[in-house]
Amino acid sequence: MAYNSHMTNNDIMPTFAVQPAAWDNFDSYGCDWSINISHAYKICSIWQEMNHAQGDMMIWRVTPGGEPIRWVRVYADETIDAADPALELLV
């Protein structure tokens, strides 16, 4: 399924998606979309602060063709600094 089939803002299409790693398969409707890797890490942090993650999180990279790729696993006990410029190296 192409990720832009249900997105409406074509100016800033998300290229990353975040969801609990326990979900295993990519869920384009259940995940949270992000426009960059820093934003994805921030979403992971929010999930963990709210205790909704219940474990590790998975950041998916979504190709321009809409194919999801497992990109980064964020462990439940990992400290996340979404402002770290080193995150841009993961792109």
Instruction: In whole angstroms, give the CA distance from residue 4 to residue 90.
Output: 23
Domains of the chain, residue spans: 12-90
pTM: 0.74
Per-residue pLDDT of the chain (91 residues), as tens digits, is 344 444 444 446 779 999 999 999 999 999 999 989 889 999 998 888 887 667 899 999 999 888 999 999 999 887 766 555 655 655 5
Instruction: In whole angstroms, give the CA distance from residue 28 to residue 12.
Output: 17
| Long-range Cβ contact pairs of 31-34 (< 8 A, separation 24 or more) | 31/60, 33/3, 33/7
pLDDT for 55? 87
